[in-house]
Amino acid sequence: MTIHVLIQCSKKKSLDFSPEMKWSSKTTLESWKTKWEKQPVSTDAEKLYSGRSIKREFEFISRTSGVEGYIISGGAGLAKLNDKIPSYESTFSNGNGPHYSQWHQLPLGGLARITPQKGDIIVSFAAPSYHRVIKEDPMFEKLASKFVVASTSPLSSHQDVTSVDIHPRTAELLKVAYIDLNSELLNQYLIGGIKRLEEVYQDCEKLPSMQQRRAISDEDLLALIESFESISSITNSVKYIRHTLGISASYERIRDAIHQLR
């Protein structure tokens, strides 16, 4: 059995990108692919992405037998760790990258690159925007029964997907920043599978009631809000963050973070 692990790319990269490799409002899928093919410098995807979280995920993948890693990239498509790719800047927000429905048409393609055998699993803990592109991929329906995701993922609503409940206080229990939570969920899964994540949830239920709100950095606040599958309103988000999660952040600060992500 092979575990196919899909992780999200990082903005931080080890190589600078040429000006033409920045997706703008004028960029089309066709022009992007043409420029991509003409880039003179490329490197292994595993060496290009240098963000803290993704480097930890590379480590988790490399130390676990029977695991094959892929990167959900806003510029490349679905990249294998040893794929040679140029540096670039492209995201799934604010018109600075392809539309969700175009992702599988990027230079390296999408889910069609995965050819799971009987008994194989596809595991992914990533921000909702990365799973929305997966959901739009034409191959998703065919592969849905192979997927294991968090209950907060947009993919979790599919009847064939295996969804794992994630407690709101998981980051607190595992002693990680919210920006590193998805990486740690992957780590816990590779250590002990779904059973391990169920144990984490049960341990969260046993945590004592929060007596006071905890401080959180701007980076972690953005990562936390980005992990929400949807935002019904700013007011409800403020209540959830402040009262349910026990985090110290003003209405204005939470509002500004939501607006920034939008």
Q: Between 33 and 94, where is the model more confident?
A: 33
To the nearest whole number, what is the mean pLDDT of the chain?
91
Least confident of 95-99, 233-237, 255-259: 233-237
Token reading at 82:
């040893």
| Distance, CA of 110 to CA of 122 (rounded, Å) | 14
The tens digit of pLDDT for each residue in 15-30 reads 999 999 999 989 999 9
| Distance, CA of 72 to CA of 124 (rounded, Å) | 10
Residue type, 250: S
Which residues on neighbouring strands pair with residue 215, listed in sequence order? 248
Token reading at 215:
């401080």
State the pTM of this model: 0.83
State the pLDDT confidence band at 228, using cuts at 50, 70 and 90.
confident
Closest by alpha carbon to 20, among 39, 48, 43? Answer: 39
The three-class DSSP label of residue 221 is helix
* Burial of 1 (C-beta count, 10 Å sphere; 0-12/13-18/19+): exposed
| Distance, CA of 195 to CA of 149 (rounded, Å) | 14
The tens digit of pLDDT for each residue in 85-130 reads 999 999 887 678 899 999 999 999 999 999 999 999 999 999 998 9
The tens digit of pLDDT for each residue in 147-165 reads 999 998 999 999 999 999 9
Token reading at 192:
């002990």
| Distance, CA of 1 to CA of 120 (rounded, Å) | 5
